[in-house]
């Protein structure tokens, strides 16, 4: 009978509007378009591209789509105040109940705008840096999406007669789960989505077709990222989506329920292949929490139908679906994770010998962690590096290698430029005595150059160092994964910075004393430590969205080598959502966001406790007997688990235009439902 009543529910203009919005959110995570555009000069300094151009597939198009969608939402809201025969008035009581969330969002928006106005990099701060495209426009869109969830997805008094937001958007969530699951299998066993010719043609214009056809997934062999730009973002998306999709599936028909369960099992596979450890940890913790809280809710509170007493058969069936579904998702996920051991995957066909992943970066940065001097292995572990008046000083513990230019010999090299060996004009010393002896060696090839002929110093203290000199270019291999390049000039040695600029000094860390945490989270500890001075500068307002790269001290080679194994990285993001907010919009904005998150978490837990125990909340005197039970459902439990899991992922991941709009939609929806009481 329940399904018959659902079919008979009327569809009005609001339901049509929500269906259109649902269709948008079903395709949003998978929007891709090849965009070639010129980037601002200040970005070209940090992100060197041919002629200052950037090729983007996934980020800019999503930001544009999000801006268009939120613009439509605003127009619809205004139109609904004007055109309907019965204009829906603003519920002042509801606004009062939502006062704190709205204040938090208002503070976040205000400080984001203020930080943009005061930013020195307004063009970047508006649209975001080319590596993320999450500028002020994106942040304001997130907040509109939050309010959309808060207002348009709330339970309504007429939801028994018309399709509810949960009916419409819930179906959309299951559809997104299925699409993600299907694309996951394609990417693991066939090839990356964006390497499929059909997809390449679909996302590009005829003028850019040849560029699209050259797309290769070189950076993430052995991982998957679908259309999320980064495997970590895909992992966070699945951690957000799975608990919500799971509780929706519980109350569906058998076919819909099992389609959802299978897709949720494959989402676990997606997290495994994203190699996002924090997302996997979030699932391990919050997916069981979803099941436990749901079971307690069903058992103690029951599910009320039409205001009548609990339906025993319905509760028993839902409880059974919960238990079977939970273990089925785990089993399917486990089977899917084991399948690549039997079936050949894309990565095993492309690179059967294995991949060069982040683990090797970690290893390169900590090969000699217990040997400060680098004397027992092939690593001269740098503890300090400076350039002073053209003289290069390289310390490894107490050992010092000093390199300077003999200007007289350099002049002779310039006279006979084509045949001279510029290595002859370099003087190596330990700070006191000159080191004369050298013997030939070969510097190993990298992904950007071939093998290089070079030499080593015969002094045993520096046996881990290899040097290659090609005209004025000096390449130092200290034993890390990457090398360091310097340049010979008539004023001494210079180091290459971003955009091939020559720096007279090697930048030093703004903060010292936290070196022990540098290696945490594959080098995130280093970024977080060096971001603290930026947060200090952002106690009131930040530097604007997307400007982290300009404010972070780049080219600090010692910290980069010891944490990432290479100094070729541009640190453009803090890899922590909360640090990102503080640096971009200021500490007050971060506080507002944290207050919003914390009040939602405690508000849900408090309401859940009242519902499941039947005890008064101590303030309103409400209990499940007088209507508070209508404030929470199984769906709210799924939202809670997914949202909190994603908040945990934010400790490691940045905010991203590919995933965070869905989070803000879910959060607005969850807060709105928690603050709505339909007796």
User: Distances from the Cα of 266 to the Cαs of 84, 497, 501, 674, in angstroms?
Assistant: 44, 44, 47, 30
At 410-423, the pLDDT tens digits run 998 998 888 888 99
526 within a domain of the structure (yes/no): no
Mean pLDDT, residues 429-438: 90
Q: What would the two tokens of residue 126 be?
A: 């508006």
Counting beta carbons within 10 angstroms of the beta carbon of residue 268, is it exposed (0 to 12), middle (13 to 18) or buried (19 or more)?
Answer: buried
Tell me, yes or no, whether 67 and 176 share the same domain: yes
In angstroms, the CA 678 to CA 565 distance is 58
Q: Tokens representing 460?
A: 């045993």
pLDDT greater at residue 591 or residue 213: 591
| Domain termination site, one of 463, 478, 503 | 503
Question: Do β-strands 384-388 and 53-56 pair in parallel, antiparallel, or remain unpaired?
Answer: unpaired
For residue 425, give the DSSP letter.
Answer: G
Last residue in a domain, options 482, 503, 524? 503
The Cα angle at residue 319 between residues 317 and 322, in degrees rounded to 5 = 110
Two tokens at 374? 């680098």
Domain extent for 472: 372-503
> What is the length of the chain?
679
- Sign of the Cα torsion 172, 173, 174, 178 reads positive
Beta-ladder partners of 443 = 452
Strand order in the sheet with 473-477: 438-443, 452-457, 466-470, 473-477, 484-489, 492-496, 502-503
- Asked if residue 33 has pLDDT above 80, the reply is yes
How many Å separate Cα 624 from the centre of its chain? 40
pLDDT interval class at 308 (50, 70, 90): very low
Mean pLDDT of 161-178: 87
Percent of the chain with pLDDT over 70: 86
pLDDT of residue 625: 41
Percent of the chain with pLDDT over 90: 60
What mean pLDDT comes out for the span 277-285? 96
Whether residue 150 sits in one domain with residue 10: yes
Are residues 134 and 199 both part of a single domain?
yes
What is d(CA 609, CA 612) in angstroms, rounded to the nearest whole number? Answer: 5
Q: How much is the pLDDT for 21?
A: 96
Confidence band for 353, pLDDT divided at 50, 70 and 90: low
Apex CA 46: angle with CA 422 and CA 511, to 5°?
Answer: 90
DSSP letters spanning 364-394: HHHTTTT-TT--SSS----SEEEEETTEEEE
Instruction: Determine which of 211-220, 229-238, 368-377, 624-633 has the lowest per-residue pLDDT on average.
Output: 368-377
Mean pLDDT of 181-205: 94
pLDDT at 369 over 90: no
Q: Which helix (H) or strand (E) holds 606?
A: helix 587-613
Q: List pLDDT tens digits, range 143-155.
A: 999 999 998 887 7
Q: Into how many domains does the chain fold?
A: 2
Q: What is the mean pLDDT of residues 509-526?
A: 90
Looking at the structure, do residues 334 and 383 belong to the same domain, yes or no? no
Q: Which of 55-59, 87-91, 227-231, 554-558 has the lowest mean pLDDT?
A: 87-91
User: 81 and 44 in one domain?
Assistant: yes
Residue 271 to residue 268: CA distance in whole angstroms: 5
Q: Please report whether residue 541 resides in a domain.
A: no
Judge if 175 and 315 occupy the same domain: yes
Q: Is residue 578 part of a domain?
A: no
DSSP assignment string, 509-547: -SS-S-GGGTTHHHHHHHHHHHHHHHHHHTSS--S-TT-
3-state secondary structure 323-353: HHHHHHHHHHHHHHHHHHHCCCCHHHHHCCC
Helix, strand, or coil (residue 231): helix
Q: How would you classify the pairing of strands 399-405 and 426-429?
A: antiparallel
Give a yes or no: residue 341 inside a domain.
yes
State the distance between the two ends of the chain, measured CA to CA, in whole angstroms: 23
Residue 76 lies in a domain: yes
Same domain, 590 and 453: no
Q: Is 638 in the same domain as 495?
A: no
What pLDDT is recorded for position 372? Answer: 40
My answer on whether 201 and 256 are in the same domain is yes
Using CA atoms, how far apart are residues 303 and 313, in angstroms rounded to an integer?
A: 11
The answer to whether position 452 is within a domain reads yes
Assign 367 a pLDDT band (cuts: 50, 70, 90).
Answer: very low
What pLDDT does 90 receive?
A: 67
In a domain, 550, yes or no: no
Q: Is the pLDDT of residue 14 over 70?
A: yes
Averaged pLDDT for residues 45-72: 85
Assess whether 387 and 304 both reside in one domain. no
**368: pLDDT confidence band, cut at 50, 70 and 90?**
very low
Residue with tokens 């003999």: 406
The verdict on residue 38 lying in a domain is: yes
What's the average model confidence in pLDDT over 26-49? 84
pLDDT band at 41 (very low <50, low <70, confident <90, very high): confident
The mean pLDDT value of the chain amounts to 86
Pick from 503, 527, 561: which residue ends a domain? 503
Same domain for 498 and 405, yes or no, is: yes
Most confident of 340-344, 490-494, 565-569, 589-593: 589-593
What are 473-492's pLDDT values in tens digits? 999 999 998 899 999 998 99
pLDDT the model gives residue 646: 98
Q: Which pairing describes strands 399-405 and 452-457: parallel, antiparallel, or unpaired?
A: unpaired
Note whether 334 and 398 are same-domain residues: no
Q: Which long-range contacts (CB under 8 A, 24 or more apart) does 365-368 make?
A: 365/480, 365/481, 365/519, 365/523, 365/561, 365/562, 365/563, 365/564, 365/565, 366/519, 366/562, 367/479, 368/479
The model's confidence at residue 677, banded by pLDDT at 50, 70 and 90, is low
pLDDT at 352: 58
pLDDT at 194: 92
Q: Is 226 left (phi over 0), alpha (psi -120 to 50) or beta?
A: left
pLDDT at 570: 87
The pLDDT of residue 628: 38
């Amino acid at each position: 009978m329940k399904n018959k009543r659902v079919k008979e529910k009327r569809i009005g203009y609001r339901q049509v509007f929500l269906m259109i919005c649902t269709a948008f959110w079903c395709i949003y995570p998978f929007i891709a378009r090849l965009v070639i555009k010129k980037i601002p000069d200040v970005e070209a300094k940090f992100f060197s591209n041919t002629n200052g151009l950037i090729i983007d597939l996934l980020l800019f198009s999503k930001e544009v789509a999000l801006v268009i969608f939120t613009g439509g939402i605003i127009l619809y809201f205004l139109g609904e105040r004007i055109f309907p025969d019965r204009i829906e008035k603003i519920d002042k009581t509801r606004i009062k109940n939502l006062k704190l969330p709205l204040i938090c969002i208002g503070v976040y928006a205000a400080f984001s705008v203020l930080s943009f106005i005061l930013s020195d990099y307004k063009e970047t701060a508006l649209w975001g840096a080319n590596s993320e495209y999450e500028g002020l426009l994106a942040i304001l869109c997130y907040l509109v999406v939050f309010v959309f969830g808060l207002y348009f997805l709330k339970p309504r008094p007429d939801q028994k007669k018309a399709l509810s937001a949960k009916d419409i958007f819930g179906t959309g969530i299951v559809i997104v789960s299925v699409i993600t699951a299907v694309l996951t299998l394609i990417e693991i066993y066939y090839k990356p989505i964006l390497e499929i010719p059909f997809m390449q043609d679909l996302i590009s214009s005829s003028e850019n077709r040849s560029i699209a056809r050259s797309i290769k997934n070189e950076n993430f062999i052995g991982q998957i990222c679908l259309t999320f730009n980064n495997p970590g973002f895909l992992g966070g998306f699945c951690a957000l989506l799975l608990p919500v999709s799971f509780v929706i599936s519980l109350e569906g028909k058998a076919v819909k329920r099992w389609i959802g369960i299978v897709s949720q099992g494959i989402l676990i596979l997606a997290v495994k292949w994203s190699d996002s450890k924090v997302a996997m940890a979030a699932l391990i913790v919050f997916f069981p929490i979803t099941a436990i809280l749901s079971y307690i809710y069903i058992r103690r509170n029951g599910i009320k139908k039409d205001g009548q007493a609990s339906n025993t058969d319905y509760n028993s069936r839902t409880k059974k679906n919960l238990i079977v579904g939970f273990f089925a998702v785990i089993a399917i996920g486990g089977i899917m994770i084991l399948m690549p051991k039997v079936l050949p995957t894309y990565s095993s066909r492309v690179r059967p010998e294995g991949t060069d992943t982040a683990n090797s970066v970690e290893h390169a940065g900590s090969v000699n962690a217990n040997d400060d001097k680098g004397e027992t292995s092939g690593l001269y572990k740098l503890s300090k590096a400076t350039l002073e008046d053209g003289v290069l000083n390289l310390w490894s513990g107490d050992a010092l290698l000093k390199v300077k230019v003999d200007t007289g010999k350099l002049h002779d090299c310039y006279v006979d430029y084509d045949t001279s060996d510029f290595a002859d004009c370099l003087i190596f010393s330990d700070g006191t005595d000159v080191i004369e002896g050298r013997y030939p060696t070969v510097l190993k090839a990298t992904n950007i150059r071939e093998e290089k002929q070079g030499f080593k110093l015969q002094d045993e203290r520096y046996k881990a160092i290899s040097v290659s000199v090609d005209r004025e270019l000096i390449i130092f291999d200290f034993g890390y994964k990457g090398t360091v390049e310097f340049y010979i000039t008539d004023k001494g040695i210079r180091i290459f910075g971003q955009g091939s600029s020559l720096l007279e000094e090697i930048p030093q860390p703004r903060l010292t004393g936290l070196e022990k945490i540098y290696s945490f989270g594959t080098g995130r500890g280093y970024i977080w430590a060096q971001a603290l001075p930026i947060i200090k500068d952002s106690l009131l307002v930040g530097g604007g969205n997307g400007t982290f790269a300009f404010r972070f001290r780049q080219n600090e080679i010692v910290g980069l080598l010891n944490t990432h194994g290479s100094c070729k990285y541009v640190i453009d993001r803090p890899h922590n959502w909360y640090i990102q907010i503080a640096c971009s919009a200021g500490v007050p904005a971060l506080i507002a966001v944290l207050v919003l998150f914390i009040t939602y978490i405690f508000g849900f837990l408090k309401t859940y406790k009242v519902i499941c125990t039947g005890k008064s909340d101590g303030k309103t005197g409400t209990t499940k007997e007088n209507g508070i039970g209508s404030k929470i459902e199984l769906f709210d439990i799924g939202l809670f688990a997914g949202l909190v899991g994603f908040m945990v992922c934010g400790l490691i991941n940045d905010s991203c235009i590919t995933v965070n709009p869905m989070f803000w939609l879910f959060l607005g929806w969850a807060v709105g439902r928690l603050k709505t009481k339909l007796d």
